[in-house]
Amino acid sequence: MLAFIFLFVSCVSNNESTYYKNLLKRYPRVFIDHFPKSIRKGRIHVTETGEYDVSRFFLIVDSIYNIQSLANSLKTTTKVIYHSNDTCLFIVNKFTTEKNLTIDKKADKNDVKFYFNSKCLINKFPVPNFWGLYENPKTACNLPEDFIIYVLDSKKGKFWDKNHRSNGIYMPEYWKHGYSKGVAINEKTQEIIYWFVLW
């Protein structure tokens, strides 16, 4: 299954607010318990798939909150903090691009093996490939350079049903399936991204 859902809004109407709340109900709470219960301004990007891609859910909020306060709060609860321009990030399905989006256009297995054999990935927690939301060739995760990525939780294993998991072909054996969730903040642009990724 593959679905792309985009919602771009400036101020959220009652219908859009209801849509967002209903969307949250589709997912197990463990994935989205850090998402805001309601939004007044933001945009939503959802990718759901089995097979080669992954299930992803991003909520981007143009900040109506105190970003610094949120960042300070996250520092006390997060598992780990990364910077979007870190040279070594463990990226879920790193090889998804426009040229390699479907099962007919697979990534080179040698590239996959080389990437996951990198010693710098040891003890790292997975973060999403933000391709499709942003496309920034200057960072490995495709986010603009000024984002701080907070990983709130990340666990190995088969979660949810198989229709929402990938087959793990682009992940190493020690993280073949799992989920990761968190928040990414760009204080310069006042953007907050709430995210989870399942594979």
Number of domains forming the structure of the chain: 1
Q: Is residue 38 predicted with pLDDT exceeding 50?
A: yes
Amino acid at 125: F
State what percent of residues in the chain have pLDDT above 90. Answer: 25
Residue 109 scores a pLDDT above 60 = yes
C-alpha distances in angstroms, 154 versus 124, 150, 175, 195? 10, 11, 10, 12
According to DSSP, the residues that pair with 127 across neighbouring strands are 91
Buried b (16+ CB within 10 A) or exposed e, 59-70: bbbebeeebeee
- Could you report the per-residue pLDDT of 81-96, keeping only the tens digit for each? 999 999 899 988 777 6
Domain range for residue 167? 2-198
Candidate from 9-13, 143-147, 173-177, 187-191 with smallest mean pLDDT = 9-13
